[in-house]
């Protein structure tokens, strides 16, 4: 079964009675082509249903016209939403998007990933994973990177102001009169967020209120995208006997609601909960989640902007963007 030989620019040229190069010229903007010839070539292309062979074009141009996006396979709504928005944004600029469901936690995976990526994409949006250093290799391959999370000073990123968000959430709980506010932090950072950014925001607020918090912080080393681990985490948080909990993702918050119920308590009444991310389900959980929201669309736009600038070889200083956070009040606090 041989592949269907599709119509090439050669066919168009022949039909229009013109050289291949002229056809190419005409089809790419048609700057220096006589109007009459241009029309003839366009007609020919139309009639033959010419679409052009991307592989060949890219081979020649040395650019793929594709942006890569790594998606952490935690099946968390936020990951996908951002990916989708990036696709939309990239499309506006004539770029296609290619997604990689990759758990880039081991160096091995990263090596394989680089191989897979090679020559296929012009730029990459990624969460950083633990092996940021490795990404330097991509730069070597001439592939610009923008990170979804704040990582370190030397690379471009469009992050979320986790610290301010956490401060906001904690402050709100304080205003509502709670004093024993628990939270947790993860030692190993799965998504590469600067260690303890959210924790720091919590500490900011607690300190400003002159409150003791040492015994209210639970250390967690499970997978923050796995319900089982989060359930266990919830139990340990409840052992601190808190009046309220600031928890670093809605995903975790939803699980926490369940833990609280299982302990015979009423979330939102006996224990207040504030999450982070404003996932859609949070509006319809019981109780609905008070949470911290940020602008994913803005982030997507920024990321694509930066990436395209880098691809075009613009000389820019390192770009650090941070999305503002805002409190969304609902029933859980």
Partner DNA sequence: CAAAGTCATCGAAACGTTTCGATTCAATCG
Partner DNA sequence: CGATTGAATCGAAACGTTTCGATGACTTTG
22 binds, among its own copies, DNA, none (CB under 5 to 8 A by kind): DNA
Give whichever of 49 and 108 is closer to DNA, judged by the CB atom.
49
83 binds its own copies (CB under 8 A): yes
219 binds, among DNA, its own copies, none (CB under 5 to 8 A by kind): none
Give whichever of 50 and 220 is closer to DNA, judged by the CB atom.
50
Helix (H), strand (E), coil (C) string for 74-110: CCCHHHHHHHHHHHHHHHHCCCEEEEEECCCCCHHHH
* Least distance CB 134 / DNA (angstroms): 22
264 binds its own copies (CB under 8 A): no
Residue-wise DSSP of 300-325: HHHHHHHHHHHHTT---PPPEEEE-E
Report yes or no: 158 and 305 within 8 Å, Cβ to Cβ: no
**Terminal C-alpha separation, the chain:** 64
Give whichever of 94 and 187 is closer to its own copies, judged by the CB atom.
94
Please tell me the distance from the alpha carbon of residue 123 to that of residue 304, in angstroms, as a whole number. 9
Q: Among 10, 106, 188, 283, which residue interacts with its own copies (rule: CB under 8 A)? A: 283
DSSP letter assigned to residue 238: H
Q: Among 19, 34, 46, 96, which residue interacts with its own copies (rule: CB under 8 A)? A: 96
Give whichever of 36 and 175 is closer to DNA, judged by the CB atom.
36
Q: Among 118, 207, 215, 239, which residue interacts with its own copies (rule: CB under 8 A)? A: 118
CA separation (Å) from 60 to 41, 48, 55, 144? 22, 23, 9, 20
316 binds, among its own copies, DNA, none (CB under 5 to 8 A by kind): none
Residue span binding its own copies (CB under 8 A) among the ranges 156-164, 167-175, 184-192, 254-262 = 254-262
Residue 143 contacts by C-beta under 8 Å, 6 or more apart in sequence? 117, 121, 122, 123, 124
Q: Coil, helix or strand for 131?
A: coil
Token reading at 73: 């396979």
H helix runs in 66-196, sequence order? 77-92, 107-117, 132-140, 162-175
CA separation (Å) from 289 to 110, 205, 251, 283? 36, 21, 10, 6
269 binds its own copies (CB under 8 A): no
92 binds, among DNA, its own copies, none (CB under 5 to 8 A by kind): none
Give whichever of 206 and 245 is closer to its own copies, judged by the CB atom.
245
64 binds, among its own copies, DNA, none (CB under 5 to 8 A by kind): its own copies
Q: Among 46, 141, 241, 318, which residue interacts with its own copies (rule: CB under 8 A)? A: 141
Q: How many residues bind to its own copies according to rule CB under 8 A?
A: 49
Token reading at 136: 């330097």
* Packing angle of the helix pair 227-238, 250-262 (nearest 10 deg): 60
The residue ranges that bind its own copies (CB under 8 A) are 1, 3-4, 6, 51, 53-56, 58-59, 62-64, 73, 75, 77, 80-81, 83-84, 87, 96, 98-99, 101, 115-116, 118-120, 140-142, 227, 231, 254-255, 257-258, 261, 280-281, 283-286, 288, 313
């Amino acid at each position: 079964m041989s592949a269907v030989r599709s119509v090439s620019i050669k066919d168009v040229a022949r039909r229009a009675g013109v050289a291949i190069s002229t056809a190419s010229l005409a089809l790419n903007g048609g700057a220096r082509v006589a109007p009459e010839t241009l029309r003839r070539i366009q007609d020919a292309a139309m009639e033959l249903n010419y679409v052009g062979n991307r592989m060949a074009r890219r081979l020649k141009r040395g650019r793929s016209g594709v942006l890569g996006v790594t998606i952490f396979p935690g099946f968390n709504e936020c990951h996908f939403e951002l990916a989708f928005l990036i696709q939309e944004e990239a499309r506006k600029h004539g770029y296609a998007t290619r997604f990689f469901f990759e758990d880039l936690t081991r160096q091995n995976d990263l090596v394989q990933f680089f191989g897979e990526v090679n020559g296929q994409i012009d730029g990459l949006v990624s969460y950083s994973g633990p092996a940021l250093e490795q990404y330097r290799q991509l730069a070597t391959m001439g592939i610009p990177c923008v990170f979804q999370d704040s990582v370190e000073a030397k690379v471009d990123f469009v992050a979320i102001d986790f610290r301010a968000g956490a401060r906001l959430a904690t402050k709100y709980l304080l205003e509502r009169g709670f004093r024993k506010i628990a939270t947790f932090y993860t030692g190993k950072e799965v998504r590469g967020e600067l260690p303890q950014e959210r924790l720091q925001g919590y500490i900011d607020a607690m300190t400003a209120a002159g409150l003791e918090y040492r015994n209210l912080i639970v250390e967690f080393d499970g997978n923050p995208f796995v319900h089982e681990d989060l359930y266990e985490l919830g139990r340990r948080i409840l052992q601190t006997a808190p009046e309220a909990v600031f928890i670093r993702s809605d995903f975790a918050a939803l699980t926490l609601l369940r833990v609280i119920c299982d302990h015979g308590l009423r979330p939102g009444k006996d224990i207040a909960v504030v999450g982070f991310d404003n996932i859609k389900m949070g509006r319809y959980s019981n109780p609905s989640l008070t949470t911290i929201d940020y602008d994913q669309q803005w982030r997507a736009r920024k990321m694509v902007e930066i990436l395209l600038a880098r691809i075009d070889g613009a000389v820019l200083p390192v770009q650090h963007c941070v999305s503002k956070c805002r409190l969304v009040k609902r029933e859980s606090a």
